[in-house]
Chains A and B, each alone.
Chain A
């Protein structure tokens, strides 16, 4: 038989079953261990149900709800961690000269090696889910809770997530030639965008007034796990049902009536991204040089990217840490940074990062000769970045969006939040913009944070303090967010055009008080609430969850107090300790509006004062308070102080009441 005939046999193809099986048999402890861990959950479920534990005796819809919760909250994290282990197993041969030599000598094209290894890796990803899922189905079938539609959706989701994560790990596997570098690069790339956003805003917050280190989520599409956890969700609809307990008490129960996966399509999109990443991985493999085994970066054009990327990360993270160590009395104390020391710290850390990257790439410590140009570039970049931020050359600090360029602005001030929409609240938005400009006008004054510690001769703080946050949603969907820590004085409050006066005028308008309660706004429905009642000795402390009807009744009462002028004035210089009852009353709202960026829920904390007669009457009528058993915060403070001073002489509660 000549060789042409022999080589026509199916063993030479784009897939090799032997390699597929070999991977599964070689790495069985990995998928076997994961399957065992997964199987513990349905086993526990079965034991609990068979024991008669009512917690586990759920309706099919509640099982679907549980499947969806696991899919949206747990599966992304498991896939993130497990995919890299599977990728490290099946692609490990690439990182050793002997193994890569053997595999590449075999009569199979790289496409074939890729397909066999990729599919075996995917099989290793899915076997534990299949085992766990099959056992769960078995248990639910046994107990009549099987719900195929929810299960099918969950299986699709698991497939999509597994494919995406394994494809992304595979893509990274072809970027590097070092087994230890693979997980490092994988996790780095998965969280790079989010980390960079936080690091950059943190650095910017060291120089720019109003900029705080926070994560907007604008770039979380590049950090898939964060994106999944933020955007995948379960929408559950409950119906309140009146029930009577066995001992005759009436109570309200919530019954799940519908479950829907929110943004399930995201998994589909990322599965497509996974397909693209797998294609990129294959393209990289076809061009990969076997001799790159052992290299930290196996793709030639990515080496400068790695070198300068590591230098930049070291400059941002290490530089900030060095500055905190040598110049700050405590990390993130809210004071602003000095540009020159920060530039020096960043440059030192950046150059160290540059040389570490060079050493990793060269696999040698002798990298100093001829590398001063690169190190110099890092130095210049660090100095330039500090200068740009300190002198606000990009206009970040002074930026106030023009009216009409944003769809809404969310204002947080005096412990309340307001959402003002363009076209609905234009007059209020105009006031907000004026306030924002007034704050920026005094940015240099705010940069000096020593006012926070200035006191009068008797030790009292010289300034009242309030926090204000402005979040603009721009037309393109992006957000501009600024937060200010503002000192307030009575003198400036009386002065025309100061931010103190503008803030006071804005917040204490009648329309803003109504906005706080979402009165006359049909988009909001009050969904519930809570009330905590405190007593001096703590014995009578009690908390209540309010159902929607109770919350609605209370809201109407508070609204009547707003109309009669008995609620809503923000008092900047009083602590409210003596004029407010020791009650924590909160109301929760749902906002139903399609395609809205405004948060779907809201909450308000209501300070209850003696003059709020409608509210107090309502709480009394609902049986939540006893008018004769109410104390102010000041009374509670006095009781606590007395208890501290005379630990052996308890102050009688009756005396406190008098």
Chain B
């Protein structure tokens, strides 16, 4: 289990983390989402031992991460700007990682060579951004980590390779019980792989739930009110409302049954509950936190 408890991290007085808390259950895939500058990368750097939090606790498997070499040997991380030595080839970097990670598996490294099809004698600097990302996955997965921490992991990968990479990660989760924390802006993709989601903003985790709970907590309804009723009743707890012709689309923070029951008092001609995508949940949750798409006319 990965746990961040009331973590605070300040940079020159600015709190990049302002009491953030999150819990990643063991063996789960946790998607960390949030707007730019929300503090996602800072959480990840605290979890990988790069930053030390000013307050609070950052733990993996019940132990503090900071300067815990034994624990870090079980954690592999791929930052959004993965670093490699200037003249290093894939093989050089493999030797380097193998010298640090006791669990590094040459068997897996050789198997993954077939998957990624990259010349391991080629200088990494000469590879494309997407291929460099593949190298990062190749080496991280060869470390046989119990915990995998990924920051924007599939940026720059083509659709086929994205699927390939996620398939490898999911395979590790299924077979080895690897716990994965992934930060991404690609909510569509996260929706497919995550079973838990945390939404961050302004250095705090606003909410974290399983994806099922999250989807159950908010509902999108398409409603047609009776004749003469052109506006949505003000007393309805609606997060967002829009209208095309007579069809009103309402977003409400409750489950579908509850929302249908509330609407039934207005005798609607049509009520249809539609499941929300993660992207919609993200947008409407953060809309409440004063982060919404603004209608600005230029």
Contact = CB atoms under 8 A, between A and B. Distances in A.
Interface string A205-245: 00000000000000000000000000000000000000000
Interface size class of A (residues with CB under 8 A): 20 to 34
Contact of A101 (B45, B74, B96, B103): B45
B87 interface: yes
A9 B51 CA distance: 26
Main secondary structure of the interface of A (DSSP, over half): helix
Nearest to B16: A291
Given A104-B49, A108-B69, A109-B67, A18 B99 contact: yes
Interface string B143-155: 0001000000000
Nearest to A287: B52
A303 to B, nearest CB: 11
A102 interface: yes
B25 interface: no
Interface string B70-87: 111111010101110101
B100 A107 contact: yes
A569 to B, nearest CB: 74
Nearest to B76: A105
B48 interface: yes
B50 interface: yes
A101 B95 contact: no
Contact of B85 (A4, A7, A22): A22
A12 B69 contact: yes
A640 interface: no
B52 A289 contact: yes
A605 B84 CA distance: 69
A118 to B, nearest CB: 18
B50 A100 contact: yes
A99 B96 CA distance: 14
B51 A291 contact: yes
Contacts, number: 89
A6 B87 contact: no
Contacts of B70: 4, 7, 12, 107
A321 interface: no
A301 to B, nearest CB: 15
Contact of A9 (B77, B87, B102): B102
Interface string A151-183: 000000000000000000000000000000000
Contacts of B74: 3, 7
Contact of A291 (B11, B72, B77): B11
B101 A99 contact: no
B48 to A, nearest CB: 4
B42 to A, nearest CB: 9
B50 A107 contact: no
Interface string B32-64: 000000000000010011111000000000000
Contacts of A3: 73-74, 103, 146
B77 A112 contact: no
B96 A105 contact: no
B107 to A, nearest CB: 14
A107 B101 contact: yes
6 contacts: A6-B102, A18-B99, A97-B81, A98-B79, A106-B72, A291-B51
Interface of B: 11, 45, 48-52, 67, 69-75, 77, 79, 81-83, 85, 87, 95-96, 98-103, 146
Given A7-B102, A98-B82, A105-B75, 19 more contacts: A6-B73, A11-B73, A11-B99, A11-B100, A16-B100, A97-B81, A98-B83, A99-B83, A100-B50, A101-B79, A101-B83, A102-B82, A104-B48, A105-B50, A105-B77, A107-B71, A107-B101, A108-B100, A291-B51
The 10 closest A-B pairs by CB, nearest first: A18-B99, A107-B73, A107-B72, A102-B83, A98-B83, A7-B70, A9-B102, A105-B48, A12-B69, A107-B69
